[in-house]
Amino acid sequence: MVRRSPPAGPLLSSRSGAAGGEQAVGIRYVLLGMGTLAAEMPASAQQAMPLPAGPEIGVAVLDHGVRKFFRDAPPPGVIYASEEERGTVDVQLVYRLPPVARVLDARPNARLQINTGGRTSFAAIGAEWRQHVFGNRVYGQIGIGLAVHDGYRYTPDPFEPGLSPGETRRRFRLYERRTAFGSRVLFNPNASIGFRLTDRWAAELAWEHFSHKKLFSDVNPGIDNVGVRLVRMLGRR
């Protein structure tokens, strides 16, 4: 199919001349409307949300004992220390107090992290520091805490001489399925990225770590948990 070209010469110039005034007026209104929208949209899009000033509660679902990002998969029959409980799920409850201005707006908090597979659970107290961006709609948060757990400091040695076959099997099952933390008391560094859904609700991507940096014994595998958290602000806005 051949596309025909528009006629040239006087006909083209006479049409543009006849409609020139109306086109100029129309274009002027279009540009004026576009300018008005461009001026108004950033103001509404960038309007800052009020900062949460009250206490908060949160519920999280965490993948327990995730593999560290720098590790490859182990050979068959090998389990990395800290991954004995990998593949189970934790439910975490968090309570945060309002920011304390005298301590760089730290948020004191308490958390209870329960393993749904019967493995290690944690209870911790600590503090978090938060920084908002993008009109207070997104925030980053880091924290540190002190935790205790109901798991094993040391798992029973399945290779101890003189054990009965039944006791050897029992101990070896624990050796494969339970993490030995080397201390009852652990440090709990943590971090999260939060997204404000409304003035009162937020969703967070969360990371929780538990270890003692070999301060209390030479056994210190540490454990990492990652997941999502839903947060509700309490009190007046």
Q: How far is CA 159 from CA 75, 87, 102, 162, in A?
A: 21, 26, 54, 9
Q: What is the pLDDT of residues 99-135, one digit of tens each?
A: 998 888 999 999 999 999 999 999 999 999 999 999 9
| CATH classification code of 56-233 | 2.40.160.20
Collect all residues with Cβ–Cβ distance below 8 Å to 213 and sequence separation of at least 6. Answer: 187, 220
pLDDT digits (tens, 9 = 90+) for 169-201: 999 999 999 999 999 999 999 999 999 999 999
42 vs 190, residue with greater confidence: 190
Domain ranges of the chain: 1-47, 56-233
Q: Where are the beta strands (DSSP E) in the chain?
A: 56-64, 88-96, 107-115, 122-133, 138-149, 185-187, 190-196, 201-210, 223-233
> What is the value of pTM for the model shown?
0.78
Provide mean pLDDT across the span 143-168: 96
The CA distance from 208 to 210, in Å, is 7
Per-residue pLDDT at 122: 98
Q: What angle do CA 187, 189, 190 make, to 5 degrees?
A: 145
Q: What is the pLDDT of residue 83?
A: 92
How high is the pLDDT of residue 20? 44
Q: Cβ atoms within 10 A of the Cβ of 204, count?
A: 20
**Does 234 score more than 70 pLDDT?**
yes
User: Which pair of structure tokens corresponds to residue 54?
Assistant: 């009250």
CA dist 176 and 124 (Å) reads 26
Would the pLDDT of 35 be above 60? no
What percentage of the chain exceeds 90 in pLDDT?
Answer: 69
Q: Which pLDDT score is estimated for 37?
A: 40
SS3 21: helix
Single-letter amino acid, residue 100: V
Beta strands in 150-222 (DSSP E): 185-187, 190-196, 201-210
Q: Is the pLDDT reported for residue 13 higher than 50? A: no
Q: Sign of torsion, CA 176 177 181 182? A: negative
**Residue 109: HSE in the Cβ half-sphere, 13 Å Cα cutoff:** 32
Give residue 159's pLDDT: 93
The rounded distance, in Å, linking the Cα atoms of 158 and 152 is 15
* Dihedral, CA of residue 134, residue 139, residue 140 and residue 145, to nearest 10: 160
Spatial CA neighbour of 186 closest among 162, 161, 159, 216: 216
Radius of gyration of the chain (CA): 30
47 dihedral zone (left: phi>0; alpha: psi -120 to 50; beta) = beta
